[in-house]
Amino acid sequence: MPSVITVDNLSIRFGGLLALSEVSFDVEEGSITAIIGPNGAGKTTLFNCITGFYRPTSGEIRSVRAGREYALHKLPIHRIARLGVGRTYQNIRLFGQMTALENLLVAQHSFVNHHLLSGIFRTPAFRRSESEAQERAWHWLRFMGLERVANQEAGNLPYGLQRRLEVARAMAGQPRLICLDEPAAGLNQQETHELNEVILKLRHEHRVSVLLIEHHMGVVMNISDKVVVLDHGVVISSGTPAEVQRDPAVIKAYLGEEDAAAVPHAGSL
Amino acid sequence: MNLALALKEALLAAFIAGTLFIPIVGMILDNRNLIYELPRALMFAAVVFVGRLGMTLWAQQRTRRQIAGAEESRIAGALGGVYASLEERRRWVIPLCLAMLVAIPFSPFATNYLIQIMSLTCIYVMLGTGLNIVVGLAGLLDLGYVAFYAVGAYGYALLAKHVGINFWEAVPIMAALAATAGCVLGFPVLRMHGDYLAIVTLGFGEIIRILLVNMVRLTGGPNGMSAPRPTLFGLEFTNTPGGGGTPFHEFFGIPFDAKYRYIFIYLLTLLFAGLAILVFRRLREMPIGRAWEALREDEIACKALGINHTTTKLSAFTLGAAFGGMGGVLFATMEGFINPSSFTFLESAIILSIVVLGGMGSIMGVIFAAVAITLLPELFREFQQYRMLVFGLAMVIIMIWRPGGLLKVRRRVFTRAEAHLPAASAAD
């Protein structure tokens, strides 16, 4: 399987803090890769590097598209997005005063006809491009079960629907890789279950690769093909969910060492 | 059907009508005695009550039918029907309004003064629409918008004096020149947000004004300079043409009247204001307009969707400035004479308040606010000293009463085109 993105020896330093240290892994095409780790392990930092929000101190992120290799760590954010990397955010970032459908139209900005004059004079080509964009928007709204709220302002939607709208918006940009930053955060059991279905469906029906940060082990272990475990900015384990679950290093990172756990903390207070 | 809500609204309407009608029809001044005719006023109030009740119930009924089966909120239930019928009425309301606006200057009660005020209102509508792109859509607080207005006005006056261009040539040239100025201002302020952006644009506006005051040899300094009047296919609106052209009244064989010029300029400003609104409407529904609004809402999310925020912001500044430049040409040609005192910070503040009071991003809001802001000071001309006081008070009241502006933008409602639906899913 060719990989859609390759992270190679990635390090990033904020002042004295080494947030990521020589992280390497790749996301295979059509796979679901999960990144897990305790709080502060550097998961979101890694996401921000991949999507161009942070510039890594050293190391490379490469992506091959149409036979050409691109160095993502050198490109500005919007160019990375146009190469087919979509993302959602831990704290939702929708365009609150625009309707759900308009949010999805914005996402298609880079491939609709945005020539100024053809829009002002409403040429046939422009109208065709607009109605296609609306069709695609409806498609994704339907896919995420948001058809009924299409014309409601995104900021007024309930939390669960806002999360779904973020996924729909990322998908409307026609990405090859979608990065989901804690998509299950704040969702109830039923919603989490639906989310699992949706992610699997994205992969099967739309051939999109998924990179996922998640704390909810039910989601991670059920749907991922590969799990990368980060702790203090270092990859401590990677492999299939079953392999990772058995890895002593992972157990140690999550539960602490037996000796350490035995020390009574109350005494030091 | 929500009878209680309808009754409450109808009672409120009747109460307001009653308080208005009592002094109007409820009291008759007979020589020096006031005769109270309360039943008459109450009758009017009753008519209003019944009318309002009927209207609300009808609107509710309509809405119920329209959104049957869909989720409905109470507010949408009460307002949805009214909005829908407004949408239908637009087809004939807008042409009717336009026809009236065109007809007004030809009516007997239209004085030159009134026509000039209306021209000024149209110019403010145009400026408000331009600034609405920058502030309302793109969310960039620009306190120096008057700079582009000045560039347009002075550019026209200067080029007319030295190169001899006429009004019609000046409009596209000045739009381009002001757009360039907007782009030049846009570059350094791209990284700034909110307050910092406001301060830099404020400075830019002041720089332009101070340049105009101090470059005496070029601009005439505080004495200002004259700008040529517009022509209609080379026909001039003067009694004895200076340029040797044919005057308008001679061409048509009618007696000279200074009013023709006022009417012509008014129709020009109306045309340009109308075009500006049309372009703004289109822009708002275009990818670039959506990108501006998205940028206002969340810049980070915008970038991650492949939108180049640099060019998007610059385009907002550039297009907004182009509108300002054209407004400047219109102003110069209307006044025939310009000096730097027309381009002070107060002017920027007035244009900004048109946008903010009217409702950011709203077209009708800008029109209403422009009318109010040009008419109110004229109406209160008798209270010279208190004019700005009343003006300020009105603004404070509106901001308390409606912090979002007079009219909130109604989002475009999309309906799914049935033709594109796959056969299998047509049922839902």
Name which residue leads in pLDDT, B113 or B426: B113
pLDDT for B372 beyond 80: yes
Single-letter code of the amino acid located at A145:
G
- Chain A contact for B69 (CB, 8 A cutoff): no
Distance CA(B243)–CA(B402), nearest Å, equals 52
Rg (CA), chain B: 26
d(CA B289, CA B316): 9
Q: Are A78 and B297 inside 8 Å of each other by CB? A: no
- Measured in angstroms, the CA of B305 and the nearest CA of chain A are apart by 5
Q: Is the pLDDT of residue B404 over 70?
A: yes
Give me the residue from A52, A102, A134 closest to B411, CB to CB.
A102
For the cut 80, the answer to whether the pLDDT of residue A121 exceeds it is yes
Return the amino acid letter for B361: G
Whether the per-residue pLDDT at B79 is higher than 60: the answer is no
- Asked if residues B256 and B247 have their Cβ atoms less than 8 Å apart, the reply is yes
| Angle A8-A200-A137 from CA coordinates, rounded to 5° | 95
Instruction: Tell me the chain A residues in contact with residue B70 when contact means C-beta distances shorter than 8 Å.
Output: 148
pLDDT band at B154 (very low <50, low <70, confident <90, very high): very high
Q: How far is the alpha carbon of B425 from chain A, nearest alpha carbon, in Å? A: 10
Within an 8 Å CB–CB cutoff, is residue B290 touching chain A? yes
Beta bridge partner(s), residue A5: A27
Which site among A91, A114, A117 would you substitute to test the B interface, given the most B Cβ atoms closer than 10 Å to its Cβ?
Answer: A114
What are the chain A neighbours of B413 within 8 Å (beta carbons)? 151
Helix (H) or strand (E) holding A90: none
| Cβ-proximal residues to B370 (8 Å cutoff; 6+ apart), any chain | B121, B124, B125, B128, B354, B358
Average pLDDT over residues A46-74: 91
Token pair in block for residue A55: 């510039």
List chain B residues with CB under 8 Å of A138: 416
Quote the tokens at residue A7.
């992270």
- Rounded-to-integer distance, Cα B176 and Cα B283, Å: 18
- How confident is the model at residue A163, as a pLDDT? 92
> Given an 8 Å threshold on Cβ–Cβ distance, is A98 in contact with B282?
no
- Given a cut of 70, is residue B405 above it in pLDDT? yes
List chain A residues with CB under 8 Å of B359.
none
Rounded distance between C-alpha atoms, residue B126 and residue B370, angstroms: 9
Q: Rounded to whole angstroms, what are the CA distances from A34 to A22, A43, A256?
A: 18, 10, 22
**Is the per-residue pLDDT at A239 higher than 80?**
yes
Residues of A in contact with B297 (CB under 8 A): 94-98
Query: Could you tell me which chain A residue has the CA closest to the CA of B276?
Result: A120
Rounded to whole angstroms, how far apart are CA atoms A10 and A14? 14
Residues 6+ apart with CB under 8 A from A187: A160, A163, A195
β-pair type (B225-226, B337-338): antiparallel
How many other CB atoms are found less than 10 A from the CB of residue A202?
21
In this structure, the strands spanning A226-231 and A32-36 are parallel
Task: Sort B195 into a burial class: Cβ within 10 Å, 0-12 / 13-18 / 19+.
Answer: exposed
Chain A positions in Cβ-Cβ contact with residue B79 (cut-off 8 Å):
none
Contact B411 A150 (CB under 8 A): no
- Kindly determine whether residue B305 and residue A169, on different chains, have CB atoms separated by under 8 Å: yes
Per-chain mean pLDDT for chain B = 83
Which sign does the torsion angle of CA B238, B148, B359, B199 carry? negative
Q: Is the pLDDT of residue B270 over 90?
A: yes
Say if the ipTM goes beyond 0.95. no
Query: Mean of the pLDDT values across residues B53-78?
Result: 62
Closest CA to B197 of B317, B323, B354: B317
Q: Nearest chain B residue to A138 by CA: give it.
A: B416
Instruction: Give the distance from residue A257's alpha carbon to the nearest chain B alpha carbon, in angstroms.
Output: 40
pLDDT at B69: 47
Q: Read off the pLDDT band of B382 (50, 70, 90).
A: confident
> What is the maximum span of chain A, computed from C-alpha positions, in angstroms?
76
Chain B residues whose beta carbon lies within 8 Å of the beta carbon of residue A110: 305-307
B326-342 per-position pLDDT tens digit: 999 999 999 999 999 99
Per DSSP, chain A holds a count of helices (H) and strands (E) of 11, 10
Lowest-confidence segment of B22-31, B241-250, B251-260 by average pLDDT:
B241-250
CA–CA gap between residue A18 and residue A236 (Å, rounded): 15
Put residue B204 in one of left, alpha, beta given phi > 0 → left and psi -120 to 50 → alpha.
Answer: alpha
The number of C-alpha atoms within 13 Å of B148 and in the hemisphere containing its C-beta is 36
pLDDT at B411 over 80: yes
Measured CA angle at B138 (ends B278, B131), to 5 deg: 55
Q: What is the mean pLDDT of residues A250-264?
A: 65
Read off the pLDDT band of A1 (50, 70, 90): low
The DSSP annotation for A189-256 comes to HHHHHHHHHHHHHHHHHH--EEEEE-S-HHHHHHH-SEEEEEETTEEEEEE-HHHHHH-HHHHHHHH-
pLDDT surpasses 50 at B424: no
| pLDDT of amino acid B268 | 92
**Is B302 in Cβ contact with A82 (below 8 Å)?**
no
Share above pLDDT 90 across residues of chain B, in percent, rounded to a whole number: 38
Inter-CA distances, B289 with A53, B279, B281, B293, B314, Å: 25, 11, 9, 6, 13
A chain contacts of residue B290, beta-carbon cutoff 8 Å: 98, 102, 105-106, 109
Total-model pTM: 0.80
- Token look-up 């919603």 returns A191
Pick from B102, B127, B376: nearest CA to B266: B102
pLDDT at B413 over 50: yes
Cβ distance B304 to A116 less than 8 Å, yes or no, reads no
% of residues, chain A, pLDDT over 70 = 95
Question: Given this model, what pLDDT does residue A38 score?
Answer: 87
Q: Give Cβ neighbours of residue A73 (< 8 Å, ≥ 6 apart).
A: A10, A49, A55, A56, A59, A60, A61
Q: Are the beta carbons of B304 and A138 separated by less than 8 Å?
A: no
Distance CA B37, CA A25 (A): 89
* A217 and A237 Cβ atoms separated by less than 8 Å: no
Radius of gyration of chain A (CA): 20
Element (H, E) at A161: helix A159-172
In the predicted model, is pLDDT for residue B82 greater than 70? no
No. of helices (H) and no. of strands (E), chain B: 16, 4
Express each pLDDT in B282-325 by its tens digit.
999 999 999 999 999 999 999 999 999 899 999 999 999 999 99
B291 interface with A at CB cutoff 8 Å: yes
**Tell me, what's the pLDDT at B425?**
38
Q: How confident is the model at residue B84 (pLDDT cuts 50, 70, 90)?
A: low
Comparison of pLDDT for B210 and A266, the residue scoring more: B210
Per the prediction, chain A carries an average pLDDT of 89
Task: Provide φ and ψ at B244, rounded to 5°.
Answer: 85, 5
Percent of chain B with pLDDT over 70: 88
One DSSP character per residue, B306-359 reads T--HHHHHHHHHHHHHHHHHHHHHHHHHHHSEE-GGGGSHHHHHHHHHHHHHH-
Q: Which residues contact B127 (CB under 8 A, 6 or more apart)?
A: B145, B149, B323, B324, B327, B351, B354
Number of cross-chain residue pairs from A and B with Cβ atoms under 8 Å apart: 112
